[in-house]
Structure 1
Amino acid sequence: MAARGGRYFCTAGRGLEPFLAREVRARLGATEVVSVSGKVFFSTEAEPGELRKLKSGERVFLLLKKHTPIPVSRNKGKVLHEIKSLVIEEPKYWLGIISIWRNLHGCGGQKDNVSQKTASPLKRKSEEEANIATKRQKMEQVRGTMSEECKAEGRERCVVPERKSDQNCWTESKTSLEDPSKSSGEEPIANEQLSFSFRVSCRCSGAIAKILTSQEIGRAVGIALMKQCGWQADLRDADLEIFIHLNDIHSVVGIPLFRLPLANREYIKTAGLRSTIAWAMASLAEISAGAFVLDPMCGLGTILLEAAKEWPEACYWGADISDSQLEGADVNIRTAGLMDKIELLKASVKALPLPSESFDAVISDIPFGKKFKITKDIQLLPDILQEIERVLRVGGTIVLLLSQDLHKCMDGITKRAENDSPNAISDGTSETTTAKALNVDGNSSSLVNGVEESFLSSRQTHFGSLVPDGVYGVSLGKTDAFIYKYRKISSAGNQLLSCTAPK
């Protein structure tokens, strides 16, 4: 059973914190929700299986400690002592934590995907041999996700626990990590029943990163836990991972509930757009039962998959001009078992073979700047918007993911739309209510902790019949992007606008 009012935190890509905050409230009935850059802290009585259903987060942790930043001095020994004091505490503290952790994953120490170990070593060996290729692929996904989490936290030193080369982690070999209690004569406090393997993952940034490396911190904490608790270090297949994050904002200690990140969707065979971004976009589209939803540049179909999994009572259509992309999307749809939910067709987004005003929502990642040349094909953006507007019903919603270059182009389009709009007034603003770049809780505040949010301010005018309804800055890892939301308010004719590539 789950611990009563368990305290957790979940990591998120930069810009997705408000989406995650809303989701934990809605899906888990969470309370005491606090968002900071890259993390959302919350309390919930939900079972572990419910926490696994989170779609906008990266990894979810049982929160052990959340304190103020560690005092930094030139004395490394003193700083390490402060860190060990934060983590180790009294022996009874860890006994209580292990009890809670085991309760979260069932009686008798059974673990819900925290470790891939099972009660039967022979069965585990057989499964590993049969799925070695799959496990290697998942390992690469874990590394990629951890890399994304690093970017979400800024320029930090980050740990990829499964990787033993060039990682800032506790990377000494098992042979060098013999139990210190054996040589020192100390008696570990844990009895045999609580003896199991562990590893320490540490990330640090800010002032403390200038004094100590993640390796030094992880090794010091690991040896202290071995000495005090009698646990065995295992860097590859540990029963328990202890996560430490130290920066200038807080000191956090937690235990990951699941080995694989939440963003690794088992129903997506070939990943395209990151699943967390795709889900966030779909959540803005206001999809209801019986709605018709279109992705006119669907690629591998990630947005459609996320939407159909979360809102299965709607009907989904995907179009793309590329045969290879459609083939990949078809494989993903079959893998997810959504053949009866998603239809695919080959078509150009500039000339969709679909009736006017036939869809309730259009969601798409406009792929310019990746496979296309910005300086040439960015000029097609107005044509794309006009065709999307044509197939959208009045009252419908458009959600688009735009690169930084397209973001600049979109601002140019809205400027010209404002100047040409019959609703524009003398001071250059629109009579329509200024669209607010809302966070997902419905508050007109900026995204969490300095994440850039683009306000259209005086440029909130119609592009044809579309009214801007929010812009959200998000991270795609190496680059930043913007999620634009529009609402169609009438069936007015489209305005013919051009777009020049930003300089």
Structure 2
Amino acid sequence: MRRLYCTAGAGMEELLAQEVRQKLCASQVEQIPGRVFFSTNAEPQTLTQLKSAERLFLLLHKAEPIALPNNPGKAAAVIKERVVGDPDIWKQTLLSWTAFQEELECRRDQGHKRKREEDEEESVTEADGSTHTVSSNTHLLEKQKEVGKESHLQTLSFRVSCRCSGVIARSDNPQRLSRIIGMAIKEQLGWKVDLREPVLEVNVYLSDDHCIVGIPLLKHPLASRSYMKHNGLRSTIAWAMTSLCPDELNNCVILDPMCGVGAVLLEAAQEYSNAVFLGMDTDGSQLQKAAENVKASGMEGRVQLLQSSALEIPLADGMVDAVLCDVPFGRKFSCSSDMTTALPLLLREMERVLRVGGHLVLLLSLQLSAQLKKIICTPEQEKHSKSLDTNSVHTEPSNAHKESTETHKTLLISSLQSQKKHRVSLGSTDAFIHTYTKMQTQTHSH
């Protein structure tokens, strides 16, 4: 069992904890802001398939927060004791890291490995015509490999990447702490500092709550998808939209009416092999990039792209099982209207093509998310608003009635029942993922 942790964007920790339990059969799952810790014996190839994580680390240790003295000598002593700790733990962790890398390499080169194994034995013909098999020096090669590994442990090159938050961040800076930690590791373990091309990177996170030391298991973030030649919405958020859907999406028709470069559809397509996907966008250049992403992912037969407006979806009523949509934040939706104005019309059109029992998943800015309250209502709210509207025909409405009547003009949809609302970070801003289920056929108000 390896003790690992993953970093995650704000709001993704709970989803990541669920994913490692389901996909890795992980135990001892613990989440803190920005990180999820777990134990698993899952194969490296399976670990690389995590969709909600940013980066994957082998955990060296997780301890209580530290307070560093101002005196450099005393600070170095504290770091040597609290951050570096027992050299044997580092050596064992490094052996685990090396084994992980070898397993990944083995997976990548299975075809070549089989060929090498076949070439290890040669058929030799003697002078008398008899033949026998001569085995290559496999055991000697393995022994040399082990000796090389031991030597490698002694001369390993590394660098330290330190991140701080809270009190320690206000009293010190990451660069200085990285230098102090690096010197302590060099002294304690005999490793060589290499800031440009190290074999190993040591990540240290110091906060008011934790001291966490880990080693990245992969050079590239898990969030970087090899099939995304053109990046759009962050892949972890696109995956979250799929995972938050109330039902699995196999044997379904799934629509993204504003698909951009296809990030949401491709994340869903990776998860559900028996679904059909339709992506639409008004921007031809975006659709071209989406087509290139679809081709890179090998999904040409399952993801269809169409240039069309989300305000006029060219599908009959109730034709799709799920609508997944990253609604643009604050950008011009058309020449004459912005997204705030267009949102009610967009939602009506999405609701129209969705079958009863189908699901709507929306990623919205905080401002657009607040606007949903004026667009999607319960049947009771709709009846109440219609009653107020009817009364206003016969009487001069008060200010309160005027407000209710104005609100009724935008309370367009009563067929969608809210399921979940999940806040996530997009880096510079936050957003909400809303999920709805269509409960009935909508009778639109005019």
TM-score above 0.5, yes or no: yes
Per the alignment, residue 378 of structure 1 pairs with 340
Q: From 294, 298, 301, give the equivalent of 2:255.
A: 294
Cα distance change of structure 1 residues 338 and 228 upon mapping to structure 2, 3 Å threshold: same
Please say if residues 474 and 481 of structure 1, whose CA atoms lie closer than 8 Å, have aligned partners that are also in contact: yes
CA distance in 1, matches of 2:82, 2:205: 12
Deviations 1:231-276 (A, max 9, x none): 2222232211111000011110001110100011000000000000
Contact 1:201 1:244 (8 Å CA) reproduced: yes
Residue number among 182, 192, 205 corresponding to 2:151 in the alignment: 192
Q: Secondary structure at the match of 1:10?
A: strand
Give the residue type in structure 2 aligned to 1:349.
A
CA contact (8 A) 1:8 1:43 kept: yes
Task: Give 5+ residue unaligned stretches, structure 2.
Answer: 109-148, 389-410
Match of 2:142 in 1: none
Identity, in percent, stands at 44
- For residue 492 of structure 1, the aligned residue among 439, 442, 445 is 442
Match of 1:361 among 314, 322, 337: 322
CA deviation vs aligned residue, 1:412-434 (integer Å, no higher than 9, x gap): 324697632469999xxxxxxxx
Partner of 1:22: 18
**Matching of residues 30-41 of structure 1 within 5 Å:** 30-41=26-37
Query: Structure 1 residue 494: deviation in Å?
Result: 3.0
Report the residue type matching 2:219 in the other structure: R
Secondary structure (helix, strand or coil) at the match of 1:262 reads: coil
2: CA distance between counterparts of 1:110 and 1:50?
A: 14
TM-score by length of 1: 0.71
8 Å contact from structure 1 (residues 362, 397) kept in 2: yes
2: CA distance, partners of 1:313 / 1:78: 61
- The residue number in structure 2 matching 1:234 is 194
In 2, Cα distance between equivalents of 1:309 and 1:110: 23
Counterparts in 2 of 1:225 and 1:296: CA distance versus 1, 3 Å: same
**CA RMSD between the two structures:** 2.6
Matched, 1:42 2:4: no
Question: Does 2:102 correspond to 1:91?
Answer: no
Q: CA–CA distance in 1 between the matches of 2:218 and 2:68?
A: 32
Taking the aligned partners of 2:184 and 2:374, their CA distance within structure 1 comes to 59
Please give the secondary structure, in 2, of the residue aligned with 1:367.
Answer: coil
1:63-82 equivalence runs, <5 A: 63-75=59-71, 77-82=73-78
Contact kept? 2:331, 2:338, Cα under 8 Å? no
Does structure 2 conserve the Cα–Cα contact (< 8 Å) formed by 1:199 and 1:241? yes
Structure 1: how far apart are the matches of 2:342 and 2:412? 19
1:199-247, CA deviations, whole angstroms, 9 ceiling, x for partnerless residues? Answer: 1110011111122211111111112222232222222322111110000
1:47-446 matched pairs, under 5 angstroms? 47-75=43-71, 77-106=73-102, 192-194=151-153, 195-285=155-245, 286-372=247-333, 376-414=338-376, 419-421=381-383
For 1:259 and 1:204, locate their aligned partners in 2 and report how far apart those are by CA, in whole Å. Answer: 22
- Equivalent in 415, 428, 446 of residue 465 of structure 1: 415
Change (3 A) 1:25 1:58: same
Distance 1:59 1:65 in 2: 17
**Secondary structure of the structure 2 residue equivalent to 1:299:** coil
Structure 1 residue ranges, 4+ long, deviating more than 6 angstroms after superposition: 109-113, 422-426
Alpha-carbon distance in structure 1 between the residues aligned to 2:33 and 2:444: 40
Aligned CA distance change for structure 1 residues 485 and 226 (closer, same or farther; 3 Å): same
d(CA) in 2 for partners of 1:56, 1:198: 28
Contact 1:300 1:329 in 2 (8 A): yes
Q: In 2, distance between residues paired with 1:46 and 1:416?
A: 45
In structure 2, the CA distance between the partners of 1:414 and 1:474, relative to structure 1 (3 Å rule), is same
1:476 correspondence with 2:426: yes
Aligned to 1:443: none
Pairs aligned (count): 381
Q: Residues 10 and 330 (structure 1 numbering): CA distance in 2 closer, same or farther, change over 3 Å?
A: same
Greater Rg, structure 1 or structure 2? 2
Q: Secondary structure at the match of 2:168?
A: helix
Which one-letter code corresponds to 1:490 in the other structure?
Q
CA contact (8 A) 1:471 1:483 kept: yes
Assess if the C-alpha contact under 8 Å between 2:377 and 2:414 holds in 1.
no
CA-to-aligned-CA distance 1:153-200 (integer Å, 9 cap, x gap): xxxxxxxxxxxxxxxxxxxxxxxxxxxxxxxxxxxxx96341221111
Higher RCO (Cα < 8 Å, 6 or more apart): 1
Gaps of 5+ in 1: 114-189, 427-460, 497-503
Shift of the 277–110 alpha-carbon distance from structure 1 to 2, 3 Å rule, reads: closer
Give the equivalent residue in structure 2 for 1:161: none
Q: CA deviation at 1:376?
A: 3.8
Q: One-letter code of the match for 2:437?
A: R
Distance 1:415 1:316, change over 3 A: closer
Checking the alignment, whether the CA contact within 8 Å between 1:72 and 1:207 is kept in structure 2 is no
Measured in 2, the distance between the counterparts of 1:384 and 1:404 equals: 17
Q: 1:41 to 1:202 in 2, by over 3 A?
A: same
Q: 1:494 & 1:28 partners in 2: Cα distance? A: 46
Alpha-carbon separation, structure 2, partners of 1:279 and 1:253: 28
Write the letter of the residue equivalent to 1:207.
Answer: V
Distance 2:88 2:387 in 1: 70
Q: Name the SS for the 1:260 alignment partner.
A: coil
* SS of alignment partner, residue 287 of structure 1: coil
**1:425/1:284 CA distance change after superposition, 3 Å:** farther
